[in-house]
Structure 1
Amino acid sequence: MFALRTLSLAGGAALTAFVLTVVPRAPAHAAPAAPATLSCPTSTTLEALVDCISNQMPQHDSNGYVAPSATEAADFAQVVTSMLEGNCALSLPASISANMAIRSFTDSSDNRSYCVLMEVKSSVTSGVVDKGWGTFITYNAGTRRISHHAPHPKFDTSTTGASEGDAYSQREAVRIFKKTDSRSFLMAGARRSANLIDSTCQSGNWEADCSHNTNNMFYAANVALNNFYTARSEDWTAIEWHAKAASTCSNDIFMSPGRNTKPAVGSKLALLKAAIETQKPAWVVETTGGTSSCSLTATTNTVGRMLNGVTSNVCNTAATTTSGKFIHIEQTTGLLATLDATATAWANAVVSAFP
């Protein structure tokens, strides 16, 4: 800017002149992006909805997973209980309402009404939810007290971190949930390698890996499920759907009750094994306690330990009994290449084993 100034000269003379004064400008900063609501509004089926949610969860090495506080986890569990009781038109607790939404969802393929609890707020990274807390879906008219779980969701197997994903297992799980008239579906909210930080629960596992931690909504939901059915003296089963590399174990399917023991004759796992062998006689299906050398026994799975009766310190305490409430299924990833056929075979097996 220009300013009029009087300058002193030698001998006491004065000169009045316009002088250019440079005023520094404050550095320009881009305005923060406004929070977005990622509610997957164009999804008309549960399959499409789960695909959409998987795409917008914190991804590999993003450091985008945020562990919930004790209050947030307790409030999430409270909502899970309300949904199991048949409630969907409820106000979310204040601790989670800013990040999550609950709504009724009518699937266009079966015209059934489901209740969906999902994370929707995106303000940190465009197109990605802020916390990575997860999704819970109930079907109030479900006739089977089964909850189908996807603890290690991964949508795109071609992306970085390919070795850590359970290749589309969440897509399989939601299909089986729909086809079997089951009561609920649960999916973790972040890829397990979202934060490459060591777990404080079980060293050697990542912070966002809900199979080896307790400070997450996935574990809180399982506690709520167990408390709900126990209070009603109702038997129930959580089935975890996983995928494995063909080189990991020499079988197609490996099933575990969360302990490295042979399933009892007539147990849920034994019945489900027989049922899937009937559906797919060419598959090599093995379980714990047999001749298989497969190491994927799920004995360190924190949810499995809790459901098998460990009441404290599930991070470090192995289960000594098997309750029948927990079934862990590993599948060679190639089987999921024919997703609909594989999911249909499993659905038929579940219907047969859980009449």
Structure 2
Amino acid sequence: MEYSSGYIGGSVLQRLLDHPKSDTFEITALVRNADKATLLNTVGVNTAVASLSDLDKLTELAAASDIIIHTADADDQNAAKAILRGLKARYDQTGKVPIYIHTSGTGVLTDNAAGLHDTDVVYADTDPEQIESLSDTAAHRLVDREVVAADKEGYVRTYIVLPSTIYGIATGKLFDLGISHAHSIQLPVAIKASLDRGQGGVIGEGKNIWPNVEVHEQAELYQIILDAALSDPNTPHGRDGYYFGASDEYRLYDLAKAYSQVLYDLGKGKSPEPTSFTAEEAQKYFGGVWLGSNSRCKAERGKALGWKPTKTTKDFFNSVRADVEAIIAQK
């Protein structure tokens, strides 16, 4: 089962459809929209029309699956529990340990810098003690702990993927058909806020640092983890099964400078220099100052499996104009 209509989910599903062994897969995608379900059927994907709040349905579908790739809400603890109940039932029924690839995010690593400073704290996905030191109040943390605890019980092997700032316009048949969203969330949120205020903005002074990863390279990491998990049950999982999706890092001011320049060039911003969002604007557009946090990491486990991302922050910044132009066109 795979959750497919989103930016990450669609990219991963496209990767599965293009997989050399795709003819051996039987994929069921969970979607909320019946029209999208019909379109998915045309490309050989089975579908279940439901939402993450349909807990009994999630459990039922998971109980019929050998592999779950969950790419939807990283903070929906009830949905995660429902999926894990189904996977336990699968194990009890078959005696085989199913695979659960869960999507979290490097938001779990964030601090309260509010854009005023960077940090020397860099998390490594090969350091479980460091990850376990994260507070339960951190974003995604409670669900991540639930997933790891299930692995410890032995009825499922779990792998947690933590994408960072994902960028780029996703491509493939699923996006051409309008089934999946081709654009990211984090960057467009900042661009839309800047468009609304008529000037490129940044939280605080934008001194904070985040990692980034290109969307197709992020999808490749999921495939590499899946292939490794299928071929070798000793592939790090559970407590050792965190996989950061990050290929480079950037300072938020520099990103804001990039989209502020584009907005200015297109007559949508007063200056090519970003200005600080006021406290009221930060609350209005982002629900707080999380975009001013630091989130730094080293993606060591994925690379040990053979993941070789090549895109850099330069590629990220070069992609900004396409996002700005697409958002303006939508408006």
Instruction: State whether TM-score is above 0.5.
Output: no
Q: Which has the higher strand share?
A: 1
Q: Which has the higher helix share?
A: 2
Could you tell me the TM-score, scaled by structure 2's length? 0.29
Larger radius of gyration: 1
Higher relative contact order (CA 8 A, sep 6+): 2
Could you tell me the TM-score, scaled by structure 1's length? 0.28
